[in-house]
Chains A and B, each alone.
Chain A
Amino acid sequence: DAKTTQPPSMDCAEGRAANLPCNHSTISGNEYVYWYRQIHSQGPQYIIHGLKNNETNEMASLIITEDRKSSTLILPHATLRDTAVYYCIVSPYTGTASKLTFGTGTRLQVTL
């Protein structure tokens, strides 16, 4: 399985953009990049995913480098409710399910 590397923690001021980086230098051609977040004492929540093109939805934007070895999750206007652990996951297709192997993630603290 491809592995990911994320900074353990980041701070962001409320209202500013939060840019969360992720390295996945051993990603394979058919592997997707997924981002999930986990707010304290809740189950993980899907944010966004991509294969090679940049993606945007109502929650965030995902920027994937051309060589696919790294990506950045962008929360355009962070709020206090975005304080959570953010997981970048590279998921292979395994035949019966695509596993999510969670790494240590980035703990994002949004402050006033």
Chain B
Amino acid sequence: DAMVIQNPRYQVTQFGKPVTLSCSQTLNHNVMYWYQQKSSQAPKLLFHYYDKDFNNEADTPDNFQSRRPNTSFCFLDIRSPGLGDAAMYLCATSRDVGGAKNIQYFGAGTRLSVL
């Protein structure tokens, strides 16, 4: 029973063509995160939402945007994908912050290819 669901699992887009990745959760968690993981590298946090409050990491490119229309859904928008944006994109949730409440549950990821 998947609790954090990412669609699609594989996404192919063209250079410069906007693309949206989606994430949904059945855990009713307050916090949702987006990570980027390039080949053979560790996941890197792009941004997160605490409820409706958006928190961007300082080094996240402006090309990456996010929307959270309600508790269950969160979207990652890449406005003009470049070849360097090809990666696995991971969505995660946590109930809240601090200690055990910050345990993060990850989806299976969306692997993005840019042609």
Interface size of B in residues (CB-CB distance below 8 Å): 26
Contact with A along B7-41 (1 / 0, CB 8 A): 00000000000000000000000010100000000
| B90 CB within 8 Å of chain A | yes
CB distance from B45 to the nearest CB of A (A): 6
Besides A42-B108, A98-B94, A105-B42, 20 other A-B contacts (C-beta < 8 A):
A32-B99, A32-B102, A36-B104, A38-B43, A46-B103, A49-B99, A94-B97, A96-B48, A96-B50, A96-B55, A96-B97, A97-B31, A97-B50, A97-B94, A98-B97, A98-B102, A99-B45, A100-B104, A103-B42, A104-B42
Q: List 5 contacting pairs A-B, 8 Å CB cutoff, sorted by A.
A: A42-B108, A43-B106, A49-B100, A98-B98, A98-B102
In the complex, number of A-B residue pairs with CB atoms less than 8 Å apart:
64
**A51 touching B99 by the CB < 8 A rule?**
yes
Interface size of A in residues (CB-CB distance below 8 Å): 27
How far, in whole Å, are A38 and B42 apart by their CA atoms in the complex?
A: 10
| A101 CB within 8 Å of chain B | yes
Most buried by B among A46, A91, A97: A97
Contact with A along B98-115 (1 / 0, CB 8 A): 111011111111000000
Interface residues of B in 56-115 (CB under 8 A from A): 90, 92, 94, 97-100, 102-109
**B103 touching A49 by the CB < 8 A rule?**
yes
Instruction: Give B residues with C-beta under 8 Å from A.
Output: 4, 31, 33, 42-45, 48, 50, 53, 55, 90, 92, 94, 97-100, 102-109
Instruction: Give A residues with C-beta under 8 Å from B.
Output: 32, 34, 36, 38, 41-46, 49, 51, 87, 91, 93-105
- Partner of A97 from the list B42, B44, B55, B108 (CB cut-off 8 Å) is B55
